[in-house]
Structure 1
Amino acid sequence: MADRAFHVLMVLCGLSIFGIVILILGELVQRSQLVWQAFGFKFFSNSTFNGSYWDPVNGHFSALPFVYGTLVSSLLSLLIAVPLAIGLAIFLTEMCPKFLRGPLAFVTELLAAIPSIVYGLWAFFILVPILRDHVNPLLSKYLGWSGMFADNNPTGLGYVAAAVILAIMILPIISSLTREVMTAVPHSQREAVLALGATRWEMIRMGVLRNARIGIVGAVILGLGRALGETMAVTMVIGSAPEIHKSLLSNGASMASVIANEFTEAVSDLHRSALIEIGLALFVLTIIVNGLAQVLVWAVTRGTPPRAN
């Protein structure tokens, strides 16, 4: 009897996860019906009213600049964080002296525990001035011809600032998970590659990284999930402008930041419904990212387990 009750309890615990997801999805869908009826799919299209994507006063709303800002800042943060995180994981696992390994790993994991508002304050007072006075002018001077770093923003806020702080925030997540995966690779793999005359780098590349590739992809996807949903730190440095710019130095806004900025001050039911619709889109985007993660893992492994050769 006790075993049966325990089994039922565990099943309920497992099914509760599905219940929570369904409740969240149902509430978001219900609360966003007003804007869906007003705009339909045009809510996510390139539609403007008097040159503005987002005009609460006149009741015109388009989520396109927020989707754009979220994707740009998140993907740019991955470009910055992934090489650093994998390099850090390789150093800690394969090259770091024993006396330094523990403290360095502890500090790395400590970064993940820092509240996002603290990251936002640091970015606003330290990172943004550095970007404004030193980094952005150089990017604008030497790469402005590409259009991606044109029109240097005098405030220092923008997509680049958001991407850098996001990269710092997701770095410990990707690095820690990558290190755990690399640690799980059997030492026999390393010894076999070295016995064949491989250099240390070749051993790491063929004996460790190749076997750990599935876990590394998963770590990167988890980092992307954190970047997509980050709110406070991004809100403080992205500029909060509902616009689309090619230049990464321009002000922008993300899906999470516009909800944080405007939800408590929504001027109408339609405005509030538009913000909830953005929340629903962010929820769906998270599901899509996880689906793409499965496709990406299959593309890397072709459905086969990691092999030593």
Structure 2
Amino acid sequence: MSGIALPRTHAPARRWLPFGDRLFRILLAGAAVMVLALLGGAALAIFWGALPAFRHFGLAFLTGLAWDPVHRDFGALVPIYGTLVTSTIAMLTAVPVSFGIALFLTEVAPVWLRAPIGGAIELLAGIPSIIYGMWGLFVFAPFMADHVEPALTAAFGPLPLLGVLFDGPPLGIGMLTGGLILGVMVVPFISSVMRDVFRLVPQALRESALGLGATRWELVWRVVLPYTKSAVMGGIFLGLGRALGETMAVTFVLGNAHDFSASLLMPSTSIAAAIANEFTEADSDIYRSSLIALGFVLFAITFVVLALAKWLLARLTAEESAR
């Protein structure tokens, strides 16, 4: 055996990519890194501007109710509360409507009607938010004050628990109106995503379910939704992110009052509205830093919401792959 020469094993030669492919890969990697750098830079810049407020007020800034520019006393609880309440109202109204629109366009509407309605929805998505705000202030708010809010107060006011939510004068502007305006704004985004993913359901699955005797509702509930639930959740959280950061529309109809109230009919404010209204009037460093701190809180809320959405989507995808 010692006289037998064993063949030498050579490492495979490294395959060099052409210059164009290498350049393309470098450009793509640079674009990805730039996105992370911009996100981190924006977060760092906002945090740096908010640092004086966090040092001065500490964690009490997040739980404080006061907003007194004269005495330099600021708290973020009312804007945070207004942001979360209006966004919740927006999603409670927008998700069922968007679901109905998407189902109508994919399952019920005739072919000749789908294109006009789909174009109208996309047109709504392109309307500037300030137009929604003006419409809400001059048209929707008076309608709410004259017809909707008195009826809600009369119907739910005497009830033990719900009465607190609908207590107060029918002003027309307030958290309920702001949430409904936000709901109208996010409907085009959510319904467009749902419509597109509902179209991706294979026709063979639809025909198989109908051939087995499924009704239209059973087809949607047992075939369409399970097949597209990950994308539907992504569209819902996309609309939620849009609602959390909306500025001009809610500024017109929210009332811009730093008063904490459990009633949905009373004026309030949101983080974005407070920054837009008061940033040019900030006459002190701590005032300006407090407004920037509000922006950092909004950034953190949005980041947590989108991270939660990503986690839910990954979990749904893993569950589907395990089946």
Range of TM-score over shorter length: over 0.9
1:226-305 paired onto structure 2 within 5 Å: 226-297=242-313, 303-305=319-321
Structure 2 distance, partners of 1:298, 1:189, is 24
Q: Which 4+ runs in 1 deviate beyond 2 A?
A: 294-307
Structure 1 distance, partners of 2:241, 2:112, is 33
Deviation of the 1:304 alpha carbon: 2.2
Does residue 137 of structure 2 align to residue 130 of structure 1? Answer: no
Tell me what 1:193 maps to: 209
Provide the TM-score with structure 2 as the length reference. 0.90
3-state DSSP class of the match of 1:303? Answer: helix
Tell me what 1:59 maps to: 72
Q: Give the letter aligned to residue 319 of structure 2.
A: G
Does residue 39 of structure 2 align to residue 26 of structure 1? Answer: no
Tell me what 1:210 maps to: 226
Structure 1 distance, partners of 2:213, 2:321, is 25
User: Are the equivalent residues in 2 in contact too, given 1:266–1:272 (CA < 8 A)?
Assistant: yes
- Aligned counterpart in structure 2 of residue 84 of structure 1, from 80, 93, 97: 97
User: Are the equivalent residues in 2 in contact too, given 1:43–1:61 (CA < 8 A)?
Assistant: yes
1:14-163 paired onto structure 2 within 5 Å: 14-45=32-63, 47-48=64-65, 53-144=66-157, 145=159, 146=162, 147-153=164-170, 155-163=171-179
3-state DSSP class of the match of 1:148? Answer: helix
Q: Give the letter aligned to residue 78 of structure 1.
A: M
Larger Rg: 2
Deviation of the 1:306 alpha carbon: 9.5
Structure 2, unaligned stretches of length 5 or more? 1-18
3-state DSSP class of the match of 2:166? Answer: coil
More deviation, 166-175/187-196: 187-196
The Cα offsets for residues 141-166 of structure 1, whole Å up to 9 and x where unpaired, read as: 1111321101123x310001101110
Structure 1, unaligned stretches of length 5 or more? none
Deviation of the 1:215 alpha carbon: 1.0
Q: Give the letter aligned to residue 178 of structure 1.
A: M
Structure 1 distance, partners of 2:59, 2:321, is 41
Deviation of the 1:80 alpha carbon: 0.6
Structure 1 distance, partners of 2:276, 2:107, is 42
3-state DSSP class of the match of 1:241? Answer: coil
The Cα offsets for residues 9-66 of structure 1, whole Å up to 9 and x where unpaired, read as: 1211111100110110111111111101101111001x35xxxx10011010000000
Provide the TM-score with structure 1 as the length reference. 0.94
